[in-house]
Chains A and B, each alone.
Chain A
Amino acid sequence: MTFIEAIRSALHDAMAADDRIMVLGEDVAVKGGVFLATEGLLARFGEHRVIDMPIAECGIVGAAIGASLHGLLPVAEIQFADYIYPAIDQILNEAARFRYRSNGDWSCPIVVRAPCGAGIHGALYHSQSVERLFTSTPGIKVVIPSTPFDAKGLLIAAIHDPDPVIFFEHKQLYRSVRGDVPEGLYQEPIGKAAVRRSGSDMSVFSYGLMVHHSLTAAEQLATEGIDAEVVDLRTLAPLDCDVILSSVKKTGRALIVHEDVLTGGIGGEIAALIAEHAFEYLDAPVRRLASPDLFATPFADPLEEYFMLNPQKIAAAMRDLARY
């Protein structure tokens, strides 16, 4: 099953099992979503649970919040992460704080799905990674799966999570990655990282598309005698500090790889975590490899290629760290 089929399967199976779940967003009903993530839901669950919304991102997330107050489990789709900005007030000022500001009386169990990421010739407004904007506000969870299995299991977990979950899906993964995905309902735990490749010489921490590039790079490095561990963070908020620290304590070297920009990206937070809690175990400074502090991404092919990380760039950073 492809990644996008796994997302679709999660929505179908979850909605069939629980009539509190509704889907709302631009083009999600009749068209089934611009990436077809919601295809077939309208015919199966009807127009009151699968709702085509006007181009109003604040309204889409705000309406999801309102519906959740009456006990529903809404899944809002932002068509591209690049357009999540009008909804930021609703996500950070409203959904994140509802339980806290009412002293536990209300809550907002919503999911906001948003396709993210570059490398598909999407230029400045169909390529962005914006997770750094959401990982520093308490009250919300941020999930970015890398495999079809996780995409389904984490999305179902997100829908049933009591807190608002921002669920980013890398567009390049939608049809390029396949994997075994069980039929029916299952959940993968939010807040738990997964070790994708066990190794002893260094730890590579990544998520989303970059997990695949990091694994490719790690296989290349293995042929050069460097045995890297690759950790798929899966959830950026809350971070799985235990897995991060136990991995780096084992390997003594850490490289964080993400497509989000360097400055303010989650890599800085992970580096600080390691510096505070695993400094004595380090054999080298913590390194970060991220997109340049520019805008994802210029339209012209050579500029996009320059901007994007790839297995070669990651392998080079790993070699450099191994040599320190």
Chain B
Amino acid sequence: MEANDTPPHIRLGLSRQRLIAGLRTMIASRETDDRLWLLNRQGRAHFVVTAAGHEATQLGCAWAIRVGHDYVVPYYRDMTLVMALGQSVLDVLLHAMARRDDPSSGGRQMFGHYSSRRLRIVSGSSSVGSHLVHAAGLGLAFRARGEQDIAVMGLFGEGATAEGAWHEGLTIAGIHQLPVVFVCQNNQYSISVPVHREVPVPDVAMKAAGYGMQGVVVDGNDVFAVYEAAYQAMERARAGGGPTLLECKTYRLRPHSSADDDRKYRSSEEVESWRARDPIKRFEHYLVEHNIITAEEIEALRRDVRAEVDAATDAAVAAPYPPVENIADHVYG
């Protein structure tokens, strides 16, 4: 890595257009998140699982993915990620409100289970950590087909790293040096259990040594640091250099889900201290400081996003549910 004063977006070759599109995605994710909590309180969305606070981690990862080429094996907190990969605000709201045209599941899955074969976003269950073995299997498939220059990104919270399936996925990827980047979004709690009761070592990335892969720790609220590490890991994977365990340290700014009360397990001071480090504010500040965008333009962008969220909310509320007569479709092929 170059130790110079070049601003990271220049060093990383991120164009103004890409930066502003990225900021818009972050804001759209947060605004949609806020809207979903409101819809939940109104009884219009049964369940919300938040992405608030994870936006920089997920955008940085999304930038490292070749959309529709590399596979993505996400988990339930990846709203910013899937928006950056091409799912719209309306797509997310149709999913959250279980409408017929929900592109992820047609109204079958609880909110947060993103899927799109077209975008190569793999469908997941709610069973924590169960999906990383699928990421490893995709790597075996590329090898069996003789396909190179393709990689998988599998994402999870630090809570998943205690699961047996997680261990088996990393074991297989490490043994065969498969092109898989394992991204841990370490937000320091698995619902209520703090990280020192979930992970026996200071950094999740330390576990990488046991699986024969590189472990990397980055500030998950720094979109450039995440992108740089994710890009290097994905490029290494695509070039046959094997898997990486990338740990992005971050914090969720809301309760785990609409069914959670986080006041029972963390102080408001702690939450406020992380609000001060909000990854979106940080990114905005950077962009203004580097004359990529003005504060006024950001406000205009935010108004534009809010109008989109308003319109998408109306459209999703008015959208039809899946017809009951189709309940048994797609059980067998």
A interface vs B, CB < 8 Å?
Answer: 22, 24, 48-49, 51, 53-54, 56, 58-59, 61-72, 74, 86, 89-90, 93-94, 97-107, 109, 138-139, 141, 161-163
Q: Is the CB of A105 within 8 A of B140?
A: no
Determine if A65 and B140 form an interchain contact, defined as CB atoms under 8 angstroms apart.
no
Q: Are B141's CB and A72's CB within 8 A?
A: yes
Given A24-B140, A59-B136, A59-B168, verify A94-B130 contact (CB < 8 Å): yes
* Bound complex: CA A54 to CA B132 (Å): 16
In the complex where A62-B165, A138-B331 touch, is A72 in contact with B117 (Cβ < 8 A)? no
Query: A-B pairs with CB below 8 Å: how many?
Result: 149
Closest residue of B by beta carbon distance from A97:
B125
What's the minimum C-beta distance from B103 to chain A, rounded to whole angstroms?
Answer: 8
> Do the beta carbons of B138 and A70 come within 8 Å of each other?
yes
Q: Is B133 a contact of A102 with CB atoms below 8 Å?
A: no
The answer to whether A89 and B144 have CB atoms under 8 Å apart is no
Please list 15 pairs of residues, one from A and one from B, whose beta carbons are closer than 8 Å in the complex, sorted by A's number: A59-B168, A59-B172, A62-B133, A62-B134, A63-B134, A69-B71, A70-B138, A72-B141, A94-B125, A94-B134, A100-B108, A100-B330, A103-B102, A106-B115, A138-B331
- Is B171 close to A, CB under 8 A? yes
Cross-chain contact of A58 among B71, B133, B144 (Cβ < 8 A):
B133
Interface size on B, residues (CB 8 A): 46
Instruction: Give every chain A residue within 8 A of B140 (Cβ-Cβ).
Output: 22, 24, 48, 51, 63, 66-67
Q: How far is the CA of A64 from the CA of B139 in the complex (A)?
A: 11
Chain A residues contacting B161 (CB-CB under 8 Å) are none
Complex contacts, A104 vs chain B, CB 8 Å: 106, 329-330
Interface string of B141-174 (1 = CB under 8 A from A): 1111110000000000000000011001101100
- Cβ–Cβ contact A107 & B333, under 8 A: yes
Complex interface: chain A residues within 8 A of B134 (CB): 62-63, 65-66, 69, 94
- Complex contacts, B137 vs chain A, CB 8 Å: 62-69, 74
Chain B residues within an 8 Å CB radius of A22: 140-141, 144
Give bound CA distance, A309 to B169, whole Å. Answer: 40
Interface centre among B106, B115, B116, B144 (most CB of A within 10 A): B144
Which A residues are CB-close (under 8 A) to B125?
A: 93-94, 97, 101
One of B105, B130, B142, B146 near A101 (C-beta < 8 A): B105
